[in-house]
Amino acid sequence: MNRHLKKGKVGLNTWLLATSCFLAYTSCYAGRSILSAIMPQMIAETHFTRGDLGTMGSAFFLTYGAGQLVNGVLGDRIGAKHMVPFGLFFTGILLALFSPLESTSLGVLLWAFCGLLLSMLWGPLSKVIAENTSTEVGTAILTSLNVASILGTSSAYMTAAYGASRGSFRIAFLASAVVLTATALIWYVILTYLEKQNAITSRKDDSAIWFTKELAAELVRKAFLPMLLVSMVNGIIRNAVAFWIPTFLSERLGFSPALSASISGGLPLVNLAGTFLGLVILKKLRGNEFRTIGILFGASTAAFTLAILFSKLSALLVVFMLFVACGAMSSACNLIFASYCLRFKDTGRMSAVTGLLNFSAYAASALASAGFGAVISSFGWSPLTLSWVLLSLVGAWSAFISEKVFFRKKVH
């Protein structure tokens, strides 16, 4: 752990590290959210169907999840300086190539590669933050990355709305490509400077065996398996459900593609508010992230239920309830990765552990995204929204089980 960043008040180098991480993750989400944001217009104006785009989303989630597992381990060996800009730069190139693309098969392949490339970010980012800052500062920076994901998603929706208003979805893809490639260059310059200042270090994992008995015992003590289920359910709601919201607004509530994109652009702001509300609840519960996450899943359950009950009475209320549910899940995600994951900061495998949690979330999201598209095509939206309620209940149950396991093991 680097003394230059950890001791004393927060200085320039800490701010540079935090800012570079924030920019990198913002651009990551700006790129990964653009397909969802522009999807209603693409369905209306191109030959791409809901099934085609749902398959592209599934391909992204699948490779993003698998990449989290692989790149999480690599992040403990290679480090963030090289992995982060590589992922951002080449994703930008692929987004530019997607702009004129008309082949469904190539679209699926392209988005699969985008998922793999963008999976290079989270594990290395969390590692460089955790190992070079105090727990308090590290939690603050990791929380800011959740804010970054929200702002990046919001910018994607705003870009999509602009493209829809101009009658060209290609504008959105090209703009995202420019942002990602530029951010990659900025990241590399800042990290090079910090290394020359001896402001950051990295604890390299050079062991031949990654999974040891000591790590296994640590995973059991810290309720990793039930939290893995929590992460999976959270990933489905936060990613797969959110992926389909613009289309839900367009098809279920009758909004135009441009209006759907504009309304969805407000979702990240709700997620931001939900994130900070979750931190307030966490403080009230004395740092018990397990119980806080359970409460947030309970709020999501109630919100989805009310959205179903009032679906034919008030479109505005349905939108509000969907926003509440997604805001709660954004907050729960932040607590998983900015609070729970820091319990593993001294294992030397912070990147790999967070990568495994991310893998579980996105693997589940990949299956769910394709499944959601099939359900909509065969049965309509009503059965799908009911499944969202059931998923939230499973998440709440898993969070409270995690709490019991963690504090029982802690006592013994």
> Is residue 257 in some structural domain?
yes
Average pLDDT over residues 199-212: 61
pLDDT digits (tens, 9 = 90+) for 153-170: 888 888 887 777 776 778
Statement: residue 1 has pLDDT above 80: no
Statement: residue 116 has pLDDT above 90: yes
| Least confident span in 45-54, 116-125, 180-189, 386-395 | 45-54
Residue-averaged pLDDT of the chain: 82
> Is residue 151 in some structural domain?
yes
Assign residue 302 the CATH number of its domain: 1.20.1250.20
> Is residue 3 in some structural domain?
no
> Is residue 206 in some structural domain?
no
Please report which confidence band the pLDDT of residue 412 belongs to, taking 50, 70 and 90 as the band edges: very low
> Is residue 329 in some structural domain?
yes
Which pTM was predicted? Answer: 0.70
pLDDT digits (tens, 9 = 90+) for 38-53: 887 787 777 787 778 8
Q: What is the per-residue pLDDT for 411?
A: 40
Which domain covers residue 225, as residue numbers? 9-201+212-411
> Is residue 273 in some structural domain?
yes
Average pLDDT over residues 164-181: 84
Please report which confidence band the pLDDT of residue 201 belongs to, taking 50, 70 and 90 as the band edges: confident
Q: What is the per-residue pLDDT for 9?
A: 47
> Is residue 2 in some structural domain?
no
Q: Based on the structure, what is the number of domains in the chain?
A: 1
> Is residue 249 in some structural domain?
yes
What is the C-alpha separation between 356 and 251, in angstroms, rounded? 35
Measured N-to-C along each axis, helices 242-251 and 34-45 cross at an angle, to the nearest 10 degrees, of: 30
